[in-house]
A and B are shown apart, each in its own frame.
Chain A
Amino acid sequence: MNAPAFPSGNTTAPSGTMAAPSGTNRQLTLAIGIQWLTAIATLVLVLAPLGPILWQSLLDRPLYQPNAVLSFDNFARLLSDAGFLRAVATSFELAFAATAIACATGVGLALFLERTDLPARGAFRLFALAPMYMSQLVNAFAWYLIYGPAGYLTLFGEMLVGVPPWDMYGIGGMAIVAGTSMTPLVYLFCSSSARMADATLEDAARSVGAGPLRVLWSVSLPLMRPSIIYAALLVFIGTLETLAVPLVFGRPVGLESFTTFLFSRGLGAITPDYGLVGAAAVLLLVLVAVLLAVQSVLLKGAGRFVTVRGKAQRPRRIALGALRRPVATVFWVYFVLTLMLPLLAIIARSFTTFLTPLLSPLKVLTTDNYALVLGHPAYLRSITNSVIVASVGALVATLGIAVIALVAKRSAFRFAKGLEYLAMFPRAMPGIVAGIGFFWAMLLLPFAHWLQGTIWILMIAFAMRGIPTAYGAIAAALVQVGTELDQSARSVGAGWWKTCTAIVLPLIRPALFSAFTLLFLGFLKEYASAVFLYAPGSEIIGTTMLSLWSNGDTGAVAALSVIQIAITGVFVSLAHFVTRTNRDV
């Protein structure tokens, strides 16, 4: 065959051949090492709480005692425990009621804010999402201060009509607090589907004579059904997992829920019944896992309903006409009652000796609550601990989860798919279950005891809980980065890890930043998994609030709540500023 050997080196052009970069073998070992290490670390992190719980649920005595016997006895005892069955029933009733409330309000918000020409939509949108930034605990306290048995408005109503106008203790009250605090979830899911909806379908309904409300009810709403079902399951799971609401509005009248049952049997009792708690935790875990499985099946089907068009269209809005003002008024009333008044109450309470309609707050103004919180070393420490856990923990977790995502999505690692499932698993683990699990893991694992009572175990537990959220954000961004960008880096001589650090990670900086933001806010709010893990010295805001609350120290709780809200506010504005000024991030 003809093989023209073109002479080379007759020009100034680069000629000859360079060697491949040296140390490529080391790179290969590095890549494989990192991949295995990541997988093992993730496995340990997820199994650390899960293993001890499963193990304990089958043991006839506390897992740290020798000579334990395996049996299903705990489950039998649990299922014949009337208190437990009542607690489960309560949890389900609460979850159904809260889901109904959250769906009604969330869907209403989505429909009117995204599909109609309601005035002040910008402000409403802000209010609609605001509860997401608030800890469930703070939210429950705030509601208590204004609508609780000695709440400001409750007393005010009593003055007017002679008897307390409502009773927030019980399923109804709990459902309202939980439901309104989870409304943002529903709003978030439904609003994106509402924004993508095909406006011509609504126009068609208008043209055949339907009024604006009729169109919303018969056309826009059914189109959102998949999103509603998906969000409803999220709320249902969230309510099952919540500890704050039943703690504040149920336990005082003897109403236990699944989570408070775990809380009081695991922590409140002098000699906790390990086997029973283990079995209950396993049941809650299985329950949530089943609901998540149902949800993922529904989500698969939901894709088919999406009416996104390739053609970008700005959906036209339904004109409400004469209804604009009345509907807007309803929304204002809703936000004042569920968001502003509770917030106002907690701020007012933090600056007064007590809050009652009988006395002008100005007469009882004080900074004592803040002085108490900031002057007491343990309380002050809980604030600094919270900030450290949120910032350091979120930073380290973001980096670690980024590596998990890189291994799962961008490597030839043999168990990449398995790693991804593993990363999503913590979704099935409610905070309180994770807390119990890590607590037991420290009793069980020989080298883990030095973590006991440190903020590090809190960070580890929070990070484990945060993996799915951050993973979702990062993996979604990774999918957007074309594989030829890393392939080309590999072909010019970069190893897998070098490619990740020099090419892939810089390209997904915005996603890393939003993952960090999500984790920071999540860590700052987290309390349920901490109640089993903190010790003097490693308090965080949430645990300090809980203990102050049980001492009846409402003023200090209010002050801590306001401080937590302020930290959140400062962080959110900073994050906003960073994304605004730096398009790159």
Chain B
Amino acid sequence: MSDVLIQRLTKRHGEVTVLHGIDLDVPRGEFLTLLGPSGCGKSTTLFALAGLDKPSGGHIAVGGRTFYDGEDGTFVAPEERNLGLVFQSYALWPHMTVAKNLAFPLTLRKVPKAEQRSRIAEALELVDLGDYADRFPHELSGGQQQRVALARTLVFRPSLLLLDEPLSNLDAKLRIKSRALLKSLQRQLGLTTLYVTHDQEEALAMSDRIAVMEKGRIVQIDRPEAIYNRPATRFVADFVGAGNFLPVRASRGRQGEIVEARLDHGEVLRAVRSAATGSDTQGFMTVRPQYLRLAPAGSAVAAGNNRLDGMIEERTFLGVRNGYAIRVGDHLVTAESEDRFETGPVTLAFRPEDTLLLDH
């Protein structure tokens, strides 16, 4: 059952096109994250959904109701959409106490005073701020403000929860704590949630699915493990922390199939195709540093595994592990190992399942 449906959503600012046709289909109860670098259009997408930014074309529907349609000119005002939006800056109204901030959406919905009080208490309890009702926003810490902002959107029971980098103004420790709170709340309430962030770790930890955006397009949408292990493009791979991109020529194959790939200086390796493609293509091979096993130069490699010979140029002490910069042909490959190797020749072994073939 699809709860949020976005089709061919575009947004232009004069000559600049910010969104090039976004398609999204979010089932009820799902936690979907829009992940991408700064300026890729995440907020624009979210604000278009909330009605705070008027798109240039496309279609938006939530719970079966059309909110926007570029063709017939439908545009539902933000106040009619009943969506809960949490802003990066929290946007608490500075002239109202915490309780007044929470009461405002309820008053707009003509909720009786007595019920308002119990709802506000409930919502504040939910975010662990029961005793802070009479404080003004400036009397709260950043983390508390963030929770008030969350309570303010939950208190009127929106049909959708939209979060625009809600944790980015918190310090690292608090961010991890808030992440857990947010996730458990979302589970508890079963709220369909769209979450915007540029932090891959946050996205991987919280989401049911992640949509990775690049320059106004969704380039991959999948479960976190798939995004992490099977990035579809070099951009996605790069964004979720993969490294060691080596240019290769690969033969055709289906997605998920293990195929042969030829490095530019001749070695043939076996790698998983991340996406189905046509004939012989120029692409990239990538393997995460922790998947590379180091062995003394010339060691035998288990059957079926990939092998590369190189020269250790530099070793960096990382604590438990050592980091290595290894020259393979014209390329520098980074690897990590608990074992200690000195600079000089070395053999690298890695499994085809850990090696990924990317088109671009």
Contact = CB atoms under 8 A, between A and B. Distances in A.
Interface of A: 1-8, 10-22, 24-25, 27-28, 412, 482, 484-485, 487-495, 498, 502-503, 506-507
B91 A13 contact: no
B108 A494 contact: yes
B85 A12 contact: no
Nearest to B185: A13
Contact of A493 (B108, B162, B185, B223): B108
Nearest to B30: A3
Contact of B190 (A5, A28, A484): A5
B53 to A, nearest CB: 9
Contacts of A489: 93, 104
Given A2-B223, A488-B85, A507-B95, A27 B79 contact: yes
Given A7-B190, A502-B104, A490 B91 contact: no
Interface of B: 1, 27-30, 47, 50-52, 54, 77-85, 87-89, 91, 93-95, 104-105, 108-110, 119, 122-123, 126, 152-159, 162, 185-190, 208-209, 223
Contact of A21 (B88, B108, B223): B108
A20 B79 contact: yes
Contact of A18 (B28, B77, B156): B156
B155 A14 contact: yes
B209 A1 contact: yes
B79 A493 contact: yes
A6 B82 contact: no
A493 B30 contact: no
A380 B271 CA distance: 98
B110 A21 contact: yes
Contact of B50 (A2, A19, A491): A491
B106 to A, nearest CB: 9
A488 B108 CA distance: 13
Contacts of B52: 487, 490-491
B157 A20 contact: no
17 contacts: A5-B29, A6-B190, A11-B188, A14-B123, A15-B189, A17-B159, A25-B80, A27-B79, A28-B77, A28-B80, A484-B87, A487-B50, A488-B87, A488-B93, A491-B51, A494-B105, A495-B77
Nearest to A7: B190
A6 B47 CA distance: 25
A412 B54 CA distance: 10
A3 B156 contact: no
A6 B29 contact: yes
A22 to B, nearest CB: 7
A6 B122 contact: no
A306 B43 CA distance: 34
Contacts of A17: 82, 157-159
A507 to B, nearest CB: 6
A4 B105 contact: no
A6 B28 CA distance: 9
Given A17-B159, A485-B93, A494-B104, A1 B152 contact: no
A492 B123 CA distance: 15
A530 to B, nearest CB: 39
B208 A13 contact: no
A13 B151 CA distance: 11
Contacts of A15: 157, 189-190
A20 B208 contact: no
B89 to A, nearest CB: 6
A485 to B, nearest CB: 5
A160 to B, nearest CB: 64
